Structure 1
Amino acid sequence: MKNIKPYPTEDELPPIKTVNEVDFSAKYSYADYLRFEFEERLEIIKGYIFRMSPAPSRIHQGVLTNIFGPIYNILKGKPCHVYTAPFDVRLAKKTQKDKEIFTVVQPDLVVICDQSKLDKRGCIGAPDIVVEILSPGNSKKELISKYEVYEEAGVKEYWIISPEDKTFFRYLLDDQGKFQPTKLLTEGEKVTTPILPGFTLILEEVFQD
């Protein structure tokens, strides 16, 4: 009688080599995400796969650089860290087990002040600041879902920046764990945050091409 190899356990499932093997109607965990071997970047939000935009435009990358620079400079010698995509942020709920994490995102920029949240894979838990720079590829469903998971995870500040409209919008987490919207800002205005004492973001410089 032939030896019959048992069905592989979840830890032994084969790699997913092409994006064509992904079932966009199915639910995935971070354990599944680790099986992806293709180059296309995907995010998992509440278990569902979202395609990320193609290579960001030059304008997008310019805005990202103009935000990263001032934050990086103010953080020199301080415990907070700033990272830009691709950088995995795992928003775990009840457990940190890979197979039970159903949201893995790659924001354009994050600031993390709790070093215990950092590991060799990226960040597990809510960053202090999350920055998303809008592009034509962002869907309304994606933006709504990200708002919900960032609020639920406890992200203190969620910045949304539109290079096309040259606007800056921010949600602040209140004492009840709910996001509160702030004034829409644009060129000629400045941004400060208690998370980064001494930091000032000059929006005219952010949108400068």
Structure 2
Amino acid sequence: MSTVLEAPERDAVEHDRTAFNLAVWDKIVANPEFAAMAYRFETDEHGQIIMSPPPAPSHGNQQSKISRLLWSVPAQGEVVSECPISTRKGVKAADVAWCSLEIWKESKGRSCLLRAPEICVEVLSPSNTRSEIHEKKELYFDAGAKEVWLCAESGQMNFFSPSGSLERSEICPEFPKKV
């Protein structure tokens, strides 16, 4: 599969990763055929679409619990589910994210966030591989995330900073270790 961009528009933005990701994502979001599909979308570094089936209801339940708890973060910010983030390897969608008002405002009117929110959360599914989750974690950190949280199917939370594993979140220390 090739990128959703045609040669002239691809050539105009290919030298700028963020502009390239935004151009690809804008086309995907604007396509009514994609909007009608029940799939989740991300892209790779070449602008190719990666589709995956919708997750199980338990996955969405974990996302909802995490979202509700994140609204209690003391600092002002926004909680976003299925949050599209421009990374060096395409647009990746964090299951849940918390971002400061600064990041939220800089991405206003955009189809995806220009940099990663401070907290990116992945709710793990049986189909996730360790290498896939490790890569997403690294991509979020490369894009500016301060913490990446992983939620196991059991609800067990694991917290990470760019330097490694954390006992608990430093941004939201009251967040429970299990949801």
SS in 1 for 2:141: helix
- How far apart in 2 are the matches of 1:70 and 1:29? 30
SS in 2 for 1:123: coil
Are the equivalent residues in 2 in contact too, given 1:43–1:52 (CA < 8 A)?
yes
1:168 to 152, 157, 162: 157
The letter of the residue matching 1:82 is V
**Against the structure 1 CA distance between its residues 35 and 142, is the aligned structure 2 distance closer, same or farther, given a 3 Å change threshold?**
same
Deviation of the 1:57 alpha carbon:
1.4
Deviation of the 1:158 alpha carbon:
0.4
* Partner in structure 2 of residue 119 of structure 1: 108
Deviation of the 1:58 alpha carbon:
1.8
What is the TM-score normalised by the length of structure 1?
0.62
- How far apart in 1 are the matches of 2:166 and 2:177? 15
**Against the structure 1 CA distance between its residues 108 and 52, is the aligned structure 2 distance closer, same or farther, given a 3 Å change threshold?**
farther
The structure where helix makes up a greater share of residues is 2
Are the equivalent residues in 2 in contact too, given 1:68–1:109 (CA < 8 A)?
yes
Are the equivalent residues in 2 in contact too, given 1:130–1:159 (CA < 8 A)?
yes
Deviation of the 1:65 alpha carbon:
1.4
- How far apart in 1 are the matches of 2:48 and 2:150? 21
Stretches of structure 1 that go unaligned for 5 or more consecutive residues are 1-6, 12-27, 94-101, 174-178, 184-190
- How far apart in 1 are the matches of 2:170 and 2:92? 25
Stretches of structure 2 that go unaligned for 5 or more consecutive residues are 1-5, 11-19
1:110 to 94, 97, 103: 97
Are the equivalent residues in 2 in contact too, given 1:45–1:146 (CA < 8 A)?
no
Q: CA RMSD in A?
A: 2.8
Are the equivalent residues in 1 in contact too, given 2:147–2:159 (CA < 8 A)?
yes
Count of aligned pairs: 155
SS in 1 for 2:55: coil
SS in 2 for 1:83: strand
**Against the structure 1 CA distance between its residues 119 and 154, is the aligned structure 2 distance closer, same or farther, given a 3 Å change threshold?**
same
Are the equivalent residues in 2 in contact too, given 1:67–1:201 (CA < 8 A)?
no
- How far apart in 2 are the matches of 1:29 and 1:65? 27
* Partner in structure 1 of residue 118 of structure 2: 128
Moved more, 125-134 or 48-57: 48-57
CA displacement 1:144-200 (0-9 Å, x = unmatched) = 321221222221000011114x42212113xxxxx31235xxxxxxx4x3424xx62
For the pair 1:153 / 2:143, whether they are aligned, the reply is yes
Are the equivalent residues in 1 in contact too, given 2:41–2:52 (CA < 8 A)?
no
Are the equivalent residues in 2 in contact too, given 1:127–1:155 (CA < 8 A)?
yes
* Partner in structure 2 of residue 64 of structure 1: 63
The letter of the residue matching 1:110 is A
Identical counterparts, % of pairs? 22
What is the TM-score normalised by the length of structure 2?
0.71
The letter of the residue matching 1:201 is F
CA displacement 1:3-58 (0-9 Å, x = unmatched) = xxxx97317xxxxxxxxxxxxxxxx8442333333233221243364635422212
